[in-house]
Structure 1
């Protein structure tokens, strides 16, 4: 039996309810246990007792929108026990979409080859497409084993319906997400030949890209455009594929063609800004993309272009590796409470997706008073952190969320952060400067002011030992003028004399998988 205490408790309650002739009282505990241990034999033994009732127990788990995942899985298993596995599989797939790494489908009725033969290929194709949308592309590595049973169902179905284009294409999409790229290419190619269509060519193009066959992917995506010249999402796919072939000028022309038709089409906007940044390295493209993301919260689907462009870049995606600045100063505010320190420790990290994500992550620190945030800057827990500079950064980012209703130029948060820039460069002034830069990313009205502050700080430190540290932050600042940006770039290019590591201090390292 599963060792989870709640599973043992729920099973005991369900068994007692069934023994006393109260099956309705068993439904809730069974669903709760199923959500934690979906393949536990004891759970399915009790479900079989419900299935033996008149009506098969389905009345206890009625179909309902937004039902708990355990409820959905229980209904699926009861449908399968009633001889209706083709109705059960979409429900089980919905559970897998909710928690892909959980082994929802590792059961005999799913593995039975007869399921792939009896389920309608259109139904299976739609089920697989919904599952693909839910699990991501690619699927998380820890979810691949739990999702393999669905791929087996598709294999059985393809054996019976080998010319069904939609089934082959959807199966290709699932195979690709699970790392079966050769199978993905085979199925997508068969589907595109059996039933030529725009979607078939898109599936084939994606399969070729996953297999590293980029020229063939490009050809398939161009054929998809020919089927439907008004589908601008395919233009974005073509542009991305051209970029993979280092044909960046052509790629940008495809994005321009699409933007002429619809300047706000999300897929193309994201792709265009990413490729423009790749072409010239100017962060103005990423800032514009961040503005677009903020102004269009209801995009058709999630995009990762901004995160990918910021990844592993100093201050855009996290703290740079290298020797930290000195701690520098004593406590500047009130003694922080244990709760305040715990909140800071919970949000602190050395990396983030992009500056707006860092701003959002610090939102929880609005519950810590500004005086306590200032007090943390000299607290031993902060100054002695194993990641020097990290906790100071998050304390300063927390200040941005206080007095947010105040206009930036007259705000307390601006005044406090500017005050922390006084004196010689240290970890606190570095953190304050990054907080100002981060705010410029999320508030266009603050950009000119922050750019002026950053340029001034850059000039002040240009010949000192902290010049490189300041220059790296400056290059992340929106709206920095060309002379300041050139000065920052030149400062970073000048070789530094290595500084001796402080005893007991570790250099900053990326926390990337």
Structure 2
């Protein structure tokens, strides 16, 4: 990898070395590494520092929140002084921070002797931290850059035999890099060498990645037997049962766990997801959004809400289909170019979920309400090929003005209700979605918004474009059952959403 920034830093490092300013040179070398970790010129300068009597290590101290380039530089200097086993955890920390960069693409990491000399427990912990940092699966652009660490594990396994923690951690890394057969082999060997709860979890995850769901379920049940109080494994068992089509059993597992701790985050996320899968009622997703808002410091990152909303009209983005008429704007004025730029910058046809759409529109608080209304009639907004829902984002932006006002008497409510008049068009549709999105984030507004949505659906049910309102109604919180049934009948689809497949998507890889 080459980088103009790296070359500039290297030029400054050379100048500093010529002046004898080694500390300044070290800072520039670390900065160059952060841009291009394998650039030969960078390593040539590092070798000059390594030739010092102290090996140059004092120039790259390890401190909390140390820059990743400094960590990598110290790792290379440790390897140069014959201590590569001490350098590998630092290099892995850099990879965890920026997995797309080729931090480990250097000869000393690929040396088979490293796997033989590094303590297998240290390597296992290093790999587990790396797995946690990069996610599961690893980003596509980082599979190649992370593969050297997998090779270190191969060499270590060859040297150290059946070390259970090393085999399990190696399995977790192999799974993330798409080496599913290797993941199953190592996890199986690890569970036989050192039976434990964690070994069975690693094996269960490996089996899931391989599509071997019955074996995955058996391994996860064994994990529960080791520790019946670990409720996160209950969530894993429930997710696996659901993927086997045994949804009733899956829900019973979540109920058992929630009886013990109704606020255990892994189980709450899984339970709401499976309830929604069972009956398609958006209320489960609204409850999950409320839980997320009330528990911002959950122990694990979860994507259940986003995955449930994905590709569902209004829950995860604009609906597909024929475009509606452009609609009218209540303000006859010319918005500024800056206002249009801000609207275009945040707009898009998709969002993670309604609260995510609401949050993304926060930047429009810098655009005056009259400009947001005027933008509804702007040529860029109303053109037929406009696919980014600019009207939707303009209406969402209105929600962030006067946010301190109580909802029933607020100007934002008044403005959005004023946009609902007339036939169904893109403006009325956008205003109705903004109301729906606000009901997701403010429980006190739900009854009011549900009444507005129900009235609008009843009014338009027999008119053209009624489907556009019905799809919005199915995304609205607190809608009564008769109105939901009317909405479902209007769009002529079952209330239960079509399932988009099975497999690993239901299981959050929480453990490694």
- TM-score after normalising by structure 2: 0.95
**Residue 281 of structure 1: aligned partner:** 280
**Contact 1:389–1:428 at 8 Å: present in 2 too?**
no
**Residue 265 of structure 1: aligned partner:** 264
**Residue 142 of structure 1: aligned partner:** 141
Q: Find the aligned partners of 1:164 and 1:333 in 2 and give their Cα distance.
A: 73
Q: CA deviation at 1:158?
A: 0.4
Q: Find the aligned partners of 2:387 and 2:463 in 1 and give their Cα distance.
A: 20
**Contact 2:391–2:426 at 8 Å: present in 1 too?**
yes
**Contact 2:446–2:477 at 8 Å: present in 1 too?**
yes
Q: Find the aligned partners of 2:4 and 2:170 in 1 and give their Cα distance.
A: 38
Q: Find the aligned partners of 1:330 and 1:223 in 2 and give their Cα distance.
A: 62
Q: How many residues align?
A: 494
Q: Find the aligned partners of 1:393 and 1:112 in 2 and give their Cα distance.
A: 56
**Contact 2:329–2:373 at 8 Å: present in 1 too?**
no
Alpha carbons of 1:388 and 1:174: their partners in 2 closer, same or farther (altered >3 Å)? closer
**Residue 509 of structure 1: aligned partner:** none
Q: Does 1:39 align with 2:38?
A: yes
Q: CA deviation at 1:330?
A: 4.5
**Contact 2:30–2:73 at 8 Å: present in 1 too?**
yes
Q: C-alpha deviations, 1:351-390, integer Å up to 9, x for none?
A: 1111111111111111111111111100111112633460
**Residue 463 of structure 2: aligned partner:** 464
Residues 157-172 of structure 1 mapped to structure 2, 5 A cutoff:
157-172=156-171
**Residue 203 of structure 2: aligned partner:** 204
Q: C-alpha deviations, 1:261-314, integer Å up to 9, x for none?
A: 000000000000000011111111110000000000000110011111111111
**Residue 238 of structure 1: aligned partner:** 237
Q: Find the aligned partners of 1:102 and 1:379 in 2 and give their Cα distance.
A: 43
Q: Which piece of structure 1 moves more, 245-254 or 50-59? A: 50-59
**Residue 11 of structure 2: aligned partner:** 12
**Residue 499 of structure 2: aligned partner:** none
Q: Does 1:179 align with 2:149?
A: no
Q: Find the aligned partners of 1:387 and 1:318 in 2 and give their Cα distance.
A: 15
Q: Find the aligned partners of 2:352 and 2:332 in 1 and give their Cα distance.
A: 30
Alpha carbons of 1:292 and 1:333: their partners in 2 closer, same or farther (altered >3 Å)? farther
Q: Find the aligned partners of 2:53 and 2:23 in 1 and give their Cα distance.
A: 13
Q: Does 1:489 align with 2:488?
A: yes
Q: C-alpha deviations, 1:89-133, integer Å up to 9, x for none?
A: 111111111111111100001001111111101100000000000
Q: C-alpha deviations, 1:378-416, integer Å up to 9, x for none?
A: 011111263346000011111111111111111111111
Q: C-alpha deviations, 1:204-236, integer Å up to 9, x for none?
A: 000000000000000000000000000000000
Q: Which piece of structure 1 moves more, 170-179 or 63-72? A: 63-72
Q: CA deviation at 1:5?
A: 2.6
Q: Find the aligned partners of 1:486 and 1:73 in 2 and give their Cα distance.
A: 60
**Contact 1:331–1:376 at 8 Å: present in 2 too?**
no
Q: Find the aligned partners of 1:202 and 1:387 in 2 and give their Cα distance.
A: 48
**Residue 102 of structure 1: aligned partner:** 101
CA RMSD of aligned residues (A): 1.3
Q: CA deviation at 1:333?
A: 5.7
Instruction: Pick 1 or 2: higher relative contact order, CA cutoff 8 A, min separation 6.
Output: 2
Residues 438-449 of structure 1 mapped to structure 2, 5 A cutoff:
438-449=437-448
- TM superposition outliers: structure 1 runs of 4+ over 2 Å: 385-389
Unpaired segments of 5 or more residues in structure 2?
495-512
Q: CA deviation at 1:494?
A: 8.0
Q: Find the aligned partners of 2:336 and 2:397 in 1 and give their Cα distance.
A: 15
**Residue 190 of structure 2: aligned partner:** 191
- TM-score after normalising by structure 1: 0.95
Alpha carbons of 1:385 and 1:97: their partners in 2 closer, same or farther (altered >3 Å)? farther
**Contact 2:285–2:305 at 8 Å: present in 1 too?**
yes
Q: Find the aligned partners of 1:259 and 1:336 in 2 and give their Cα distance.
A: 52
**Contact 2:358–2:396 at 8 Å: present in 1 too?**
yes
**Residue 116 of structure 2: aligned partner:** 117
Residues 370-381 of structure 1 mapped to structure 2, 5 A cutoff:
370-381=369-380
**Contact 1:317–1:351 at 8 Å: present in 2 too?**
yes
**Contact 1:86–1:118 at 8 Å: present in 2 too?**
yes
Instruction: Tell me the secondary structure at the aligned position of residue 55 of structure 2.
Output: helix
**Residue 48 of structure 2: aligned partner:** 49
